């Protein structure tokens, strides 16, 4: 099983997430950008995801909601660059912290039938990056990556 590696070096406003999948970049990219597939893997286990808007094209927007025992958690952003099977540059915003926006660059690296996805997130400050980590995002990211891996192996 592939491990999800999350790196947040102290004193920097960055989070890096790396995960390898036993699927091609085209397959992983499709799962990442298809609004019909997203609810099947995006979010922690036990969460129901509802996609409100998901137009994964350059200039498109997205919005989705996770619902769980603790309530409703909304997320939204804008796709700044979408290069099919290769790269996504997008903003990311949690409705619970409306003044905090991060910029994420995702790359889909072809490993010969396998794919390495690297997400580099840039936050406005070290404090907002730290708040994201303290929110429990690691649990949600790891669960999502495991669920995506399961979806891709079916």
Tens-place pLDDT, residues 107-136: 999 999 999 999 999 999 999 999 999 988
HEC readout, the chain: CCCCEEECCCCCCEEEEEEEECCCHHHHHHHHHCCCCHHHCCCCCCCEEEEEEECCCCCCEEEEEEEECCEEEEEEEEEEEEECCCEEEEEEEECCCCCCEEEEEEEEEECCCCEEEEEEEECCCHHHHHHHHHCCHHHHHHHHHHHHHHHHHC
How confident is the model at residue 1, as a pLDDT? 67
Q: Are 62 and 80 within 8 A, CB to CB?
A: no
pLDDT per residue, tens digit, the chain (154 aa), is 699 999 999 999 999 999 999 999 999 999 999 999 999 999 999 999 999 999 999 999 999 999 998 899 999 999 999 999 999 999 999 998 888 999 999 999 999 999 999 999 999 999 999 999 998 899 999 999 999 999 999 8
* Rg (the chain; Cα; Å): 15
Matching CATH number, 5-153, of 3.30.530.20, 3.40.50.2300, 3.10.180.10, 3.40.50.720: 3.30.530.20
Rounded to whole angstroms, how far apart are CA atoms 150 and 154?
A: 7
Residue spans per domain, the chain: 5-153
Output the pLDDT for position 47.
93
The tens digit of pLDDT for each residue in 41-55 reads: 999 999 999 999 999
């Amino acid at each position: 099983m592939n491990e999800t590696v999350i790196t947040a070096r102290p004193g920097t406003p960055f989070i890096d997430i790396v995960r390898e999948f036993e699927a091609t970049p085209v397959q992983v990219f499709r799962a990442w950008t298809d609004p019909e597939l997203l609810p099947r893997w995006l979010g922690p286990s036990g969460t129901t995801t509802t996609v409100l808007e998901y137009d994964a094209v350059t200039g498109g927007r997205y919005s989705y909601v996770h619902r769980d025992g603790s309530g409703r958690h909304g997320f939204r952003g804008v796709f700044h660059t979408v290069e099919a099977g290769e790269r996504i540059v997008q903003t990311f915003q949690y409705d619970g912290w409306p003044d905090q926006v991060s910029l994420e660059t995702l790359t889909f690296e072809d490993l010969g039938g396998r794919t390495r996805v690297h997400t580099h997130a840039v936050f406005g400050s070290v404090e907002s990056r730290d708040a994201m980590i303290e929110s429990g995002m690691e649990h949600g990211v790891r669960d999502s990556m495991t669920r995506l891996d399961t979806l891709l192996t079916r």
